Amino acid sequence: MKNSVRVRFAPSPTGPLHIGGLRTALYNYLFAKKHNGTFVLRIEDTDQSRYVEGAEQYIKDALDWCGLTIDEGPNKPGDFSPYKQSERQHIYKEYAKKLIDSGHAYYAFDSAEDLDKLRKERESKGETFTYNSQNRTHLNNSLNLSDDECQKRLDEGQPYVVRFKMPMAKQLLISDIIRGNIQVRTDALDDKILFKSDGLPTYHFSNIVDDHLMKITHVIRGEEWLPSLALHILLYDALGWNAPEFAHLPLILKPNGKGKLSKRDGEKHGFPVFPLKWKDPKTGQISAGYREDYYLPEAVVNMLALLGWNDSSDQEIFSLNELVDKFDLTRVHKAGAKFDPEKTQWFQHQYIQKVDEETLANQFQKWLKIEKGIDSKIEYLRQVVGLLKERITFVPDFWEEGYYFFEAPQEFNPKASKKAWKDDTSEIISNVKTLVSKQDNFSKQHLQSTIKNWIQSQEIGFGKVMQPLRLSLVGDMKGPDVFEIIALLGKDEFIKRLEFAQNTLK
Ligand code: GLU
């Protein structure tokens, strides 16, 4: 049985979902699951001018990728359908009318030009113009018109907006689960527009109507909405509704802590700030995504969970289920959380180590085919993956760390060559070549003991043999155990590479 806890993630489809938005979704999900409640996705698309093609699908794909399964939403109808505000337009008017009738809102006929003029006049005096309790008494609105005159204008179809009549000089005490009690004076607030001249509600209005109708119990959202909280509470009050509880999440900050993490920070420092790759439908500009940059969703989820929350222990690795179990909204920090790109990679490294070799081999096989046009057998890849796994963080790192398993070196690191290839090296290599070509057992263990015994019998330094061997096979002084490399490459390839090195480095 579901508990009465109902939360919603309510993004506006105005572009790709920023990781800050994804964290909001995650915290909502965790809170819902923790309390055996319901996680709702509501698309807030009443501002048609900001609507971006593809953004809604992007949001759904990002949630899916992270495993944040919704209980109700546009593709998952529940008792409160529809879940897209553009499909709920018929609902809002009635509530606006209710507010007007009860004296909590009013019609305003001021044209954009009139208001602009007033704004400029005030600005020229170094003041700012606000549509508020001080000004509304001499502006073009229903508070200053007779009922008949107002009705006449409405009947004539004069453009109007509906504004909230902000109470005068009231002291509000509002509370937030994360921030505690907050005092707000209403004279600092303006008469916000609830309904626009295009007949659509604004965010503030549709948001609270829907939260009420959808029986939302907890509103968990970004800190940028904290300044709107007083208005929202007053709206609930004016409509005679109980307000849900609120929790405003801290910002995700730039790595240096100076300001909000932006798309530009990601571009500048080369890390994604979006879960999935995004192509702007207007400009064609591409923004990087964690998924396409080979991150595992579990790593991204874990990293985001700890960006603003911890469970008071030192534990850093949490599965989604564990997060559900441990998550506590009251332990979310007030202060902004610095984004740490290195730590994000650390999480990825931890998570990729948990992935089995078969899966990694399959992924790398696809990568090799697409990126390098190389067809490689899965058994071979499984062995390469096994050898290199500990060194890698992303699937393409297998190439970075082990390209020589797929193509013979064409050149040799000059510094390493100078160090490893001496006058007598070619002769040593010839002898190793002869020795190895006689072996039928090509296991790592056998090769290791055979070559080591031979080195001892020749009374030459180990490095004098192993370094040029590595250089010949890899082209550089890197890689795992040389005997492992020989065993994997096989006899023919081994001989070919040694000969090429001898010819090139002589
Ligand atoms: N549509 C708002 C946004 O995209 C939702 C804010 C809220 O959760 O109330 O941020």
* Cα of 10 from ligand 1 centre, angstroms: 5
Do 430 and 465 fall within a single domain? yes
- Model pTM? 0.94
> Which domain CATH number covers 449?
1.10.10.350
State the total domains in the chain: 2
Do 432 and 485 fall within a single domain? yes
Last residue of a domain, one of 365, 388, 405: 405
Sheet of 193-195: strand order equals 105-108, 161-164, 193-195
Do 498 and 445 fall within a single domain? yes
Task: Please give the average per-residue pLDDT across 230-254, as a whole number.
Answer: 98
Last residue of a domain, one of 369, 388, 405: 405
* Cα of 11 from ligand 1 centre, angstroms: 5
Determine, yes or no, domain membership for 72: no
Determine, yes or no, domain membership for 314: no
Structure tokens at 307: 């960006």
Determine, yes or no, domain membership for 370: yes
Catalytic pick among 260, 263, 338, 444 = 263
Determine, yes or no, domain membership for 8: no
Do 462 and 401 fall within a single domain? no
Do 371 and 394 fall within a single domain? yes
Q: What angle do CA 257, 262, 264 make, to 5 degrees?
A: 110
Do 446 and 364 fall within a single domain? no
Task: Please give the average per-residue pLDDT across 492-501, as a whole number.
Answer: 98
* Cα of 172 from ligand 1 centre, angstroms: 22
Do 399 and 422 fall within a single domain? no
Q: Is 263 labeled as catalytic in the residue annotation?
A: yes
User: Residue 89: which residues within 8 A CB-CB, separation 6 or more?
Assistant: 46, 199, 200, 201
Do 364 and 437 fall within a single domain? no
Reported as a single tens digit per residue, the pLDDT across 32-76 is 999 999 999 999 999 888 999 999 999 999 999 999 999 999 999
Do 446 and 486 fall within a single domain? yes
Reported as a single tens digit per residue, the pLDDT across 113-162 is 999 999 999 999 999 999 999 999 999 999 999 999 999 999 999 999 99
Residue spans of alpha helices (H) in 262-394: 263-269, 297-305, 320-326, 341-353, 357-367, 378-388
Do 425 and 400 fall within a single domain? no
Give the pocket of ligand 1 (CB within 6 Å): 10-12, 44, 203, 207, 221, 225
Do 484 and 435 fall within a single domain? yes
Determine, yes or no, domain membership for 445: yes
Do 432 and 487 fall within a single domain? yes
CB 448 within 8 A of CB 454: no
Work out which ligand 1 atom sits closest to the CA atom of 21.
10
Task: Please give the average per-residue pLDDT across 379-385, as a whole number.
Answer: 98
| Domain of residue 382, residue span | 357-405
Determine, yes or no, domain membership for 366: yes
Distance, CA of 414 to CA of 418 (rounded, Å)? 6
With a pLDDT cut of 90, the percent of the chain lying above it is 97
| Whole-number pLDDT of residue 433 | 97
- Assign 300 a pLDDT band (cuts: 50, 70, 90): very high
> Which domain CATH number covers 396?
1.10.8
Last residue of a domain, one of 343, 375, 405: 405
